[in-house]
């Protein structure tokens, strides 16, 4: 299995654990926090028509888009750091 696939799988599993922690009330849910940060920088003239069009599904659409984004980011992170060994950090 390629390193990117391993990272993408880890990126798919990590938000699920984050969701469990969020449901327990121990920490914020990273995709939800990312969506809130994104909407805070988007102008209201763009945000309002989108929310009116999608209604309640706007938030869920953002969460659905966040999961593949996390998988891709984790995959890229693994590709960029696969040549770094743990021994270098333990010295």
Q: What are 74-87's pLDDT values in tens digits?
A: 778 877 776 665 55
Show me where the domains of the chain are located: 3-90
How many Å apart are CA 16 and CA 9, to the nearest integer? 11
7, 76 Cβ separation under 8 angstroms: yes
**Do the Cβ atoms of 12 and 67 come closer than 8 Å?**
yes
pTM of the model: 0.57
Q: For residues 6 and 75, what is the distance between their CA atoms, to the nearest angstrom? A: 7
The 10s digit of each residue's pLDDT in 19-42 is 777 777 777 767 677 777 777 888
Q: What is the mean pLDDT of residues 42-64?
A: 80
* Of residues 15, 22, 28, 18, the one with CA closest to residue 64: 15
Task: Write down the pLDDT at residue 85.
Answer: 57
């Amino acid at each position: 299995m390629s390193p990117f696939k391993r990272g993408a799988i880890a990126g798919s599993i990590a938000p699920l654990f984050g969701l469990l922690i969020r449901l327990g009330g121990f920490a914020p849910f990273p995709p939800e926090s990312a969506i809130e940060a994104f909407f805070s920088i988007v102008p209201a003239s763009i945000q309002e028509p989108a929310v009116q069009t999608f209604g309640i599904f706007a938030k869920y659409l953002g969460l659905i888009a966040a999961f593949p984004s996390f998988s891709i980011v984790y995959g890229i992170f693994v590709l960029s750091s696969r040549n770094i060994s743990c021994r270098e950090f333990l010295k």
